Structure 1
Amino acid sequence: MQQAGVIDIGYLELILAAGFMLVAAYVSWRMKLGQEKSIAIATVRVFLQLLAMGFILIYIFQYQSWWLVLLVMFCMSLFAARIACDRIKLHLDGLWIDVYASITLSSVVIALIVVEGIIHATPWYSARQLIPITGMAMGNTLSAVALATSRLFADLDSRSDEIFALVALGATPQEAAMPSIRSAVGAGIMPTIAGMSAAGIVQIPGMMSGQILAGADPVTAAKYQIVVLLMMSAATTLAIVMACFLTYRKRFSESGYYLDPGMRAKQS
């Protein structure tokens, strides 16, 4: 069935498409990776979560108000922070708050600039523009923050002897940690930059592909995709810089000394 230029996918075809995940499941079983359960859970979750979001957005598009839009964005940011912390695999006091602040502030600020200053949506809280754009920013930044934060702590630990010496010689925690912060920020930015380099040559990115499939003019779709890629680059950079500067102190005591593993609180 076709609606306004979009070819609708039937539920039967959607269920059949789940067969693509059998490839990953077979590889996991054949190579004894033990990921079959995770693959099955991820498949079920993607069905339930995306269809649920689709039905919620239908309601919000029809009866949108600023508080409903902000409520959805708030819920998205909570889940984004939770997923990022799970990927970091470190349980440190206050880490969730730092990750939440980094992802939320960077994504929401950049999304509002795009909606107000580039797309000129009316009203500013237009759910059809603000929610998807914020979601794209958060999805990209959560992966980058998880990668950068994990890299930061690993690099700090690998430099522990050097950091002990620098602090003993009078360096501040930030001065001692700065090489690790630079390394983590560079690692976090790299995937986004690589994606931008491949866009239009190796791949047609998601938003552009979606708009073309929906019947939009390819040049118009390309313009939107350019804005999205630049937006994600800015949001990612802001998020990982904030995350690194907020979290590096968790490896130092209040007096500024680097904490060896036996002196660290709550982590695994």
Structure 2
Amino acid sequence: MNVIELSWWQLGLAATLVLALAACTQLARLGLGKSLLVAAARTAIQLTLVGLVLETLFSVGSLPWVALMGVAMLLLAGREVMARQQHRLRGGWSFTIGTAAMFVSAFSVTVLTLTTIIGPTPWYTPQYAIPLLGMLLGNTMTGVALALDRLTEGVWRQRQLVENRLMLGQTWVEACGDIRRDAMRSGLMPIINAMAAAGIVSLPGMMTGQILSGTAPALAVKYQILIMFTIAAGTGFGTFVAVSVASRRLFDRRERLRLDRLTGSAGD
């Protein structure tokens, strides 16, 4: 089956729906009209630029360029993780922890999937490596960001409880144990919900794209199952690493709570 080509004027028709939604938000005084239009413009510009980059990358197909693209995606994801936290660790620790957690989880799962499960030749073939890494990074980024935000917010709000537990002789792990567990649950919940609803409530994006491009539904289903499982693994391991390292950073060697290592707000 041939893929139906889309022209720019057809995309323009789709953009009118976003414009209509922005107008409705303005009439309802939600204050989201400008943000919605900026996000839509960023989507169009960023995806167009990525398309041009990927076309060039696919034609070259060398490991250094694929690795450079992956590192750039990782650093941008790390920045997004830091920006989504209301109380973030000072001194670049939020960026470092988020980026390191995604590197350990998303990159390792991607390499394992490419070399062991899918097995393209070469294993870093951009057609497989970049989309797979992008999906893992995007979902892992969401999980890590939610977990870190819930962790720092929980410690900030329950600081008296944590300090009381420390004074009663509990270790730092015990004093913030429930906060850590809540943060980890928060990071894992989106992918758990996505897996539970896949195929019943919604058709996942990759599967839908493959079917629209002419791939047999049975094959598209296999790839989607693989993607969902790898995303779950990447998000889970990334969340565990991020919460473990960040929570340790909130206490010093004498196991004292160090709220001075947190910013008061995202704008600090």
How many residue pairs match? The answer is 263
Following superposition, the deviation at residue 266 of structure 1 comes to: 4.1
Indicate yes or no: 2:50 matched with 1:53.
yes
Structure 1 unaligned blocks of 5 or more:
none
- Deviation of residue 256 (structure 1)? 1.4
Equivalence for 1:92: 89
Q: Is the 8 A contact 1:6 1:213 kept in 2?
A: yes
Matched, 1:36 2:19: no
- What's the TM-score, normalizing by structure 1? 0.93
Structure 1 residue aligned with 2:176:
177
**Structure 2 unaligned blocks of 5 or more:** none
Identity over aligned pairs, percent: 33
Q: Which amino acid aligns with 1:103?
A: M
Q: TM-score, normalised by structure 2?
A: 0.93
Indicate conservation of the 8 Å contact 2:82/2:95, yes or no: yes
Which residue does the alignment assign to 2:123? 124
Residue of structure 2 in register with 1:234 after alignment: 233
150-159 vs 34-43, greater mean Cα deviation: 150-159
Contact conserved, 1:92 with 1:267, CA < 8 A, in 2?
no
Question: Residue in 1 aligned with 2:8?
Answer: 11
Partner Cα separation in structure 1 for residue 127 and residue 30 of structure 2: 41
Structure 1 runs, 4 residues or longer, greater than 3 Å off: 263-267
Displacement after TM superposition at 1:132 (Å): 0.3
Question: What is the CA–CA distance in structure 1 between the aligned matches of 2:119 and 2:148, rounded to whole Å?
Answer: 34
2:238 partner SS: helix
CA drift of 1:8 comes to 1.6
Q: Does 1:71 align with 2:65?
A: no
Give the structure 1 partner of residue 113 of structure 2.
114
Take 1:265 and 1:8, find their aligned partners in 2: how far apart are those partners? 50
Shift of the 199–266 alpha-carbon distance from structure 1 to 2, 3 Å rule, reads closer
Deviating more after overlay: 32-41 vs 64-73: 32-41
One-letter amino acid matched to 1:209: T
Once the two structures are superposed, what CA deviation does each residue of 1:203-258 show, in whole Å capped at 9, x if it has no partner? 11111101100111100000000000001100010111111011113432442112
- CA drift at 1:28: 2.1
Decide whether the 8 Å contact of 1:80 with 1:139 is kept in 2. yes
Asked if residue 191 in structure 1 is aligned to residue 182 in structure 2, the reply is no
Residues 265/43 of structure 1: CA separation in 2 closer, same or farther (3 Å cut): closer
Report the aligned-residue RMSD.
1.6
Contact 2:150–2:186, Cα closer than 8 Å, also in 1: yes
1:158 to 2:157 alignment? yes
